[in-house]
């Protein structure tokens, strides 16, 4: 049984139980009649119930857009605004020792800065690294970055001596010879 509620909204009544039908005394067509159910707004189905987005209603005028018609000017106003603090982010996990460096190990120097610039260009906002502490010297964990002796220290090999020269903390004569 289908009831026309207004010019653009119909209600299709479907029963799962053979006991509940239009002939049944428990069925009241009045509950679904156009005079009892007058809808002034249309709820967008995918915005209802358990959807993470909040429910929104379109005016009857805005909801009467047919296929091929332009959307109403205020179409985007029905959707919740994005909270930039809760947006999805993308990133890369790469340890700085993997950059090519002049001293046989990558460091937090020019190539790391170029990598950060590239991340920004492609829209990534995260750079995850393995622990930057010196590897531990405990039994059976030789060389593991997760077995550092102290979380407050860093691996001195990751300091870019070229950046220290740029900052005036070292002179070029004090630099070690490249490997």
Sequence spans of domains, the chain? 1-39, 41-80, 91-174
Token pair for 170: 């070292």
pLDDT range class, residue 141, cuts 50, 70, 90: low
C-alpha to C-alpha distance for 56 and 78, rounded to whole angstroms: 6
- pLDDT over 70 for what percent of the chain? 58
pLDDT-based confidence at 37, cuts 50/70/90? Answer: very low
Residue 126, phi then psi, degrees to nearest 5: -130, 140
| pLDDT recorded at residue 177 | 81
Q: How far is CA 46 from CA 39, 40, 57, 62, 157, in A?
A: 18, 19, 11, 17, 54
Contact yes or no for 108/160 (Cβ under 8 A): yes
| Mean pLDDT, rounded, for 40-58 | 43
Q: What is the mean pLDDT of residues 89-101?
A: 86
Q: Determine whether 102 is exposed, middle or buried from the number of CB atoms within 10 Å of its CB (0-12, 13-18, 19+).
A: middle
Tokens of 72: 């109403």
Residue 101 above 70 pLDDT? yes
Query: Percent of the chain scored above 90 by pLDDT?
Result: 9
Residue 169 has pLDDT above 90, yes or no: yes
pLDDT digit string, tens, across residues 125-137: 888 888 887 776 6
Alpha helices in the chain (DSSP H): 60-63, 110-121, 161-166
Position with higher pLDDT, 59 vs 158:
158
């Amino acid at each position: 049984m289908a009831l026309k509620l207004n010019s653009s909204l119909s209600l299709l009544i479907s029963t799962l139980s053979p006991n509940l039908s239009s002939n049944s005394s428990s069925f009241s067509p009045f509950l679904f009649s156009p005079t009892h159910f007058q809808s002034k707004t249309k709820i967008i189905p995918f915005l209802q119930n358990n959807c993470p987005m909040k429910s929104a209603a379109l005016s009857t005028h805005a909801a009467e857009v047919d296929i091929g018609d332009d959307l109403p000017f205020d179409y985007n106003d029905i959707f919740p605004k994005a909270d930039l603090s809760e947006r999805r982010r993308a990133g890369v996990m790469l340890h700085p020792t993997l950059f090519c460096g002049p001293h046989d190990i990558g460091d937090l120097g020019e190539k790391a800065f170029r990598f950060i610039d590239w991340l920004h260009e492609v829209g990534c906002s995260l750079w995850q690294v393995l622990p930057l502490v010196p590897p531990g010297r405990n039994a059976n964990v030789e060389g593991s970055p997760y077995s550092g002796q102290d979380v407050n220290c860093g691996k001195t090999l990751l300091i870019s001596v070229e950046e220290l020269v740029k900052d005036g903390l070292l002179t070029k004569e004090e630099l070690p010879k490249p490997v």
